[in-house]
Every structure is written in C-alpha cells, then in structure tokens.
C-alpha cells in the first residue's frame, strides 16, 4: 500500500500557502510519499483559492487536493471572524472522518497535520489511530503565548482588556495584557473560548510543526522545549522546519522584493511610508483611489503593497511582500538572518534535522 500524509489547513489563502509549502518540503525529503490536502469551505469571503490550487496541482502531481462540502453555520454574536473559522472546522469533523477513511482505503496514512484553527480534528485523528500534529504558521514567540494561555487563564478571573498588567510568558519579554490578540481580550467572548480550547488541544498532540528556524528565536524555543509554557502536562515535540516561503520565478517583475529594495536603497533614510494591509486587506476600486489620492497629496515617498480589488470571483494576489526601508544595523541583521535561514534548510541545518525527526516520529 502506498504511503501518505494528510494536511488540513485553515481555508484562508495565507494558511493554505504555508501548508502547501510544508507539503512540498516533506515531499522533497520523502519523494515516495503522497500528500493529500483537505480544503474546507471558507466561513467568510477571504478570496478564491481555486487559481492557486490549480497552479499547484499542475506543477506538483504528488499533491492531491480534496474539496470538502459546505456546512451550514449557526449564527454567532461574537464580533471576531475567528469564531466562524473555529465553528466551521468543528462542524466539519464528520466530513473529515469520512475523508480520512476514504483516503486510508488506498494509502497508509502516516500523519494528519492540521492547522492551528483545526483543533477539533485532533479527536478524529485519535479515533482513527493516526498521529495528529499541529502546524503553526507563525513563529514560536506567539506559540509560547498560546501554550501558556491556560496558565494565564487559571491565574486570573479578569479579561486581559481589564487586567492592566504585564504578562510574564516564559521566553518572551513582558507583554502588556491589553496588547493581547484582539480575540483574546474578552474572556467571555466565544473566540476566547475557542482559542483556549485550542491551546489545551495543542498540548495533547503528537507534535507541533512551526514555520520558523531555531536561530531566529532560540530563547523562546528553548523555553517551550524545556516545558516552561505547559504547566499541567508534558510538552509535545517542537519541530522548527522553516522558513516556508512560496517562491516566485518572476525575477524581472519591477514589483519583486529585490527590485523594491534596490529602489529603497536610493531613497533618503526614513523618508518612505510603507503600506501593507495583510491577506484580508481587500479594498474596492473607490477605496484604492482614495488611498492613492491621500498618498499623492502627502508628498511623501511610499511603498504600497497593492492587491487587486475584489472581483466577481474574488481572486487574490499571492505575491511575496517587500520590506520597508530600515536602519542599517537592522538591515544587516535581516541579511544575516536570511543567510541563517538558508543554512537551516540545507543538509545538516536545524530545519533539515527537525524535518528528519518529524518523519521519524510518525513512523514509530
């Protein structure tokens, strides 16, 4: 029987790309495997992922995408869209169960690798005796926050927005409680409860795969691995296998990061305004025009990551984001980190070795 891994991303494009890059990395080291990626429907309009999925399918035949059917979402009073994501993926559990059973008829599934928001899927993996791993698309700094969240929850009855104190999280500098992620500010909000449940669930997984490399965040990585962030049980293995970045072959495109950096090098220090609104920062044509007019009237140099306005198919641009102008010492540090990141992924590097440990763990 052929061998496979199943990956279960949050349906938003940013999470999907990271998960696909993880699949590509694993397949590079284990070409005998096939990767099956389960695509849940989007609980809100974050743009179509179909063009991206079609492009990957055409170039990487060892990755198979499975589009899961829609589920009906109940109404929610939470102001945070993350609540909808958690709820949709929870309701998807019966479909996930059936999909894994279907795939297992033709493949020996070594692991289910699920996104942070897919916390309810861990119980399905356990029921089917499949090792369940989390894939955390950010760095270990925020991972430490979430792993330590149950401890902070037990230590107070107040919401973070009302706590007015510094949060002392192992491996991190003190963080003002009011600077916590927006969905976690109110402990009575449904989103807070979802994130808290997810924190408990991650601690029970077979391991947590992180899109970072060890020399980028050594202090906090050590704090997690030493068991300082999970106080009521063992800490699962942490596999830093990054950085996972979607590559582009359009090197002559004037909008590539290299071209933007060359332009920035020619500008006076601290003279450029940088605008980037993230993966959900979609603006209408009218809004884009208003922003452009404001920038023009300001008279300032600017670097603006502009994405296509939403159309009928709500397609998304998936280009890498350029960097803003930086102080020379910071810039040198970034260039150094780029070299370290490349070394981490090479044979014998920390990410290379973490990936080897990951594959060894699911074969035990």
Residue 55 to residue 274: CA distance in whole angstroms: 30
Residue 326 to residue 283: CA distance in whole angstroms: 27
81 a catalytic residue? no
Residue 218 to residue 112: CA distance in whole angstroms: 27
Residue 205 to residue 119: CA distance in whole angstroms: 10
Residue 258 to residue 322: CA distance in whole angstroms: 8
Residue 302 to residue 324: CA distance in whole angstroms: 9
Residue 244 to residue 225: CA distance in whole angstroms: 21
The phi-psi region of residue 100 (left if phi > 0; otherwise alpha if psi is between -120 and 50; otherwise beta) is alpha
- Computed on alpha carbons and rounded to an integer, the radius of gyration of the chain in Å comes to 21
Helix (H, G, I), strand (E, B) or coil at 223: helix
Residue 20 to residue 299: CA distance in whole angstroms: 41
Catalytic residue among 15, 36, 110, 153: 15
186 a catalytic residue? no
Helix (H, G, I), strand (E, B) or coil at 219: helix
Q: Taking CA 121 as the corner, what is the angle to CA 89 and CA 87, rounded to the nearest 5 degrees? A: 25
Catalytic residue among 110, 115, 120, 153: 115
Residues catalogued as catalytic: 15, 115
């Amino acid at each position: 029987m052929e061998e496979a891994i199943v990956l279960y991303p949050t349906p938003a494009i940013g999470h999907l790309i990271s998960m696909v890059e993880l699949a590509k990395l694993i397949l590079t080291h284990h070409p005998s495997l096939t990767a099956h990626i389960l695509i849940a429907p989007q609980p809100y309009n974050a743009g179509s992922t179909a063009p991206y999925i079609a492009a990957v399918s055409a170039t990487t035949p060892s990755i198979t995408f499975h589009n899961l059917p829609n589920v009906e979402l109940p109404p929610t009073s939470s102001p945070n869209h993350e609540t909808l994501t958690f709820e949709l993926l929870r309701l998807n559990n019966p479909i996930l169960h059936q999909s894994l059973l279907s795939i297992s008829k033709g493949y020996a599934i070594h692991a289910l690798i699920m996104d942070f928001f897919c916390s309810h899927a861990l119980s399905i993996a356990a029921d089917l005796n499949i090792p369940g791993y989390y894939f955390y698309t950010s760095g270990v700094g925020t991972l430490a926050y979430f792993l330590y969240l149950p401890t902070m929850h037990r230590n107070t009855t107040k919401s973070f927005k009302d706590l007015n104190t510094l949060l002392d999280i192992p491996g991190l500098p003190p963080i003002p409680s009011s600077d916590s992620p927006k969905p976690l500010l109110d402990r009575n909000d449904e989103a807070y409860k979802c994130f808290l449940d997810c924190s408990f669930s991650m601690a029970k997984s077979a391991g947590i795969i992180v899109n970072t490399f060890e020399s980028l965040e050594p202090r906090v990585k050590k704090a997690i691995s030493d068991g300082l962030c999970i106080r009521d049980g063992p800490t699962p293995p942490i596999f830093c296998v990054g950085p996972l970045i979607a590559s582009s072959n359009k090197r002559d495109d004037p909008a590539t990061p290299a071209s933007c950096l060359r332009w920035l090098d020619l500008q006076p220090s601290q003279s450029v305004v940088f605008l980037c609104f993230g993966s959900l920062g979609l603006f209408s044509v009218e809004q884009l025009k208003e922003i452009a007019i404001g920038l023009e009237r300001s008279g300032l140099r600017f670097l603006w990551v502009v994405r296509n306005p939403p159309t009928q198919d709500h397609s998304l641009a998936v280009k890498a984001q350029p960097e803003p102008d930086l102080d020379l010492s910071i810039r040198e540090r970034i260039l150094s980190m780029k070299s370290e990141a490349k070394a981490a992924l090479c044979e014998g590097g920390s990410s290379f070795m973490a990936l080897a440990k990951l594959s060894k763990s699911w074969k035990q």
